[in-house]
Amino acid sequence: MIHIYLCEDNKKQLNRWENIIEKYLIMNPTESKLFCSASKPEDLLSIRKRSSTTGLYFLDIDLQANKNGIELAQEIRKYDPRGYIVFVTTHSEMAVLTFRYKVEAMDFIAKDDTDTLPEQICACIQNAERNYKAQLDSSNRLLSIKVDKDSLVLDQNDIVAITTGDDSHKLTLHTKTGIRQISGSLKEFHATLNSGFCQCNRSTIVNLKHVLKYSRENSMLFMDNRETYSVSIRMMGKVQKALNSFHLSIMK
């Protein structure tokens, strides 16, 4: 179940949003419900604090209050780290990257395009519901990683490999789409991973799921993101065994 929250200082626009959402919820009976519609950020926050359900938030940026939408979203993140935030804003206030990276906004809607507003709002609700369901299914695969004061939630299946660089207390996480640096040690990290991971040399743990090919002559693992990792002599037997049992378990 998702609770929907609205915050917009202009009463007229707020009413419009409410109408759109209510109409959508009547037409598409789901477990979601319109939980709160506020014109002041404080009102929304005080209601949010008392609830523990994941929320979907439609926020205006320029709220004519002591907080703007981005600050409000940051505040919301403290109580609802996994909630879905959508900014409804004018073109001139649009800051796509900032929304996405600073408060992990799910989406943003341009209010200048008044005609497509209902469609866009409904698409956001559908998206949030789909994502919520997918998360419930995959919750045992998720991995929470501390990055400074924040934590990053990743699906273990997306991780291709974890390596250490020259810097011993920094790890590099290789995914299909790129690399990111996190702090920690390889040993600690290995303990939190599921059985699909295997250490192939002193500084690398690979996800067997992403191994394309294991070449025994030059003891290299070829991954599906174009990376290659060498297998140290000590680990050869272990890697071979792990690959065999991994493929067996898939075939079953």
Partner 1 sequence: MTYFIYTFTGALCNYFFCVHLLPNKLTFIKRFIIFLYAFSTFYFFNRIYGQASTFITFLGITFLIYFFTNSPYLSLSCYLFGYLYTITFNYLFMWIAGFIFKMDMEALITHHLLLIAFSCVYCIFCGTTTKLIGYYFHKKLNITKYLINDHLLKAIFIDLFLLVFFYIFNFSYGERLGYNYGVIALNGIIFLLLFAITVFLMYSVYKVTMGEQAYKHRMAQFENLRVYTERLENSYGIMRKFKHDYMNILVTMSGFLKEDDIDGLKEYYGERILPISRAFTESDTKLGALSNIKNTAIKSLLSSKFVYMIEIGIKTEIELTEPINNLNMDCLDLSRILGIFLDNAMEAAIETEEKQVRFCIFYKEENLHLIIQNTALPPTYAISELCSHEISTKGENRGIGLFNVDMILKSYENTIWNTTYEEPYFTQELILIHNGS
Nearer to partner 1, 52 or 144 (CB): 144
Least distance (Å) from partner 1 to the CB of residue 93? 9
Least distance (Å) from partner 1 to the CB of residue 158? 11
State the Cα–Cα distance between residues 104 and 237, nearest whole angstrom.
Answer: 43
For residue 151, the 8-state DSSP code is E
Tokens linked to 56? 């979907």
Neighbours of 45 (CB within 10 A): 18
Least distance (Å) from partner 1 to the CB of residue 29? 34
Tokens linked to 252? 């079953």
Nearer to partner 1, 3 or 210 (CB): 210
State the Cα–Cα distance between residues 118 and 105, nearest whole angstrom.
Answer: 19
Least distance (Å) from partner 1 to the CB of residue 175? 8
Cα distances (Å, whole numbers) of residue 118 to 19, 124, 125, 241, 244: 9, 10, 11, 55, 52
Nearer to partner 1, 18 or 104 (CB): 104
User: Which positions lie near partner 1, rule CB under 8 A?
Assistant: 70, 74, 91-92, 95-98, 101-102, 147-150, 163, 166-167, 172, 174-175, 177-182, 223, 225-227
State the Cα–Cα distance between residues 163 and 152, nearest whole angstrom.
Answer: 18
Least distance (Å) from partner 1 to the CB of residue 170? 8
Nearer to partner 1, 18 or 227 (CB): 227
Q: Which amino acid is at 74?
A: Q
Nearer to partner 1, 134 or 147 (CB): 147
State the Cα–Cα distance between residues 12 and 106, nearest whole angstrom.
Answer: 25
